Amino acid sequence: MKKHKTTHEENLARLARIEGQVRGLQRMIDEGKYCIDIITQIQAVRAALQSVSEKILHKHMDHCVADAFRGRSRKEASIKMDEVFDILKRMRK
């Protein structure tokens, strides 16, 4: 069974939820909520952003990178692979 592909529209919906989480964080800070609770919510936002990032990378691999390899241009395929390796390095930081 093939895995459902995430669309940009689905990612926009996820980002809207994350935006709401960030507004909630602002309220928590404004109201002087417990620091550990704020940090916990920050970690939740970071995890949600990471998830969106991974979904977009998966979409990129399925489309842009796969298309570059199907196009038989070694140069284009090499460029796409370099892009992926560079972003993976940045995601580890």
Span 62-66, mean pLDDT? Answer: 90
| CA-based end-to-end distance of the chain | 34
pLDDT at residue 71 is higher than 90: no
Length of the chain: 93
40-50 burial by CB neighbour count: b if 16+ within 10 A, else e? ebeeebeebee
How much is the pLDDT for 3?
54
Give percent of the chain above pLDDT 90. 69
Confidence of residue 72 (pLDDT cuts 50, 70, 90): confident
pTM: 0.80
Q: 8-92 falls under which CATH superfamily? A: Metal-sensitive repressor, helix protomer (1.20.58.1000)
Span 83-88, mean pLDDT? Answer: 92
Work out the angle at residue 42's Cα, subtended by the Cα atoms of residues 44 and 4, and round it to the nearest 5 degrees: 30
Span 2-12, mean pLDDT? Answer: 75
pLDDT at residue 4 is higher than 80: no
What residue segments make up the domains of the chain, in order of their start? Answer: 8-92
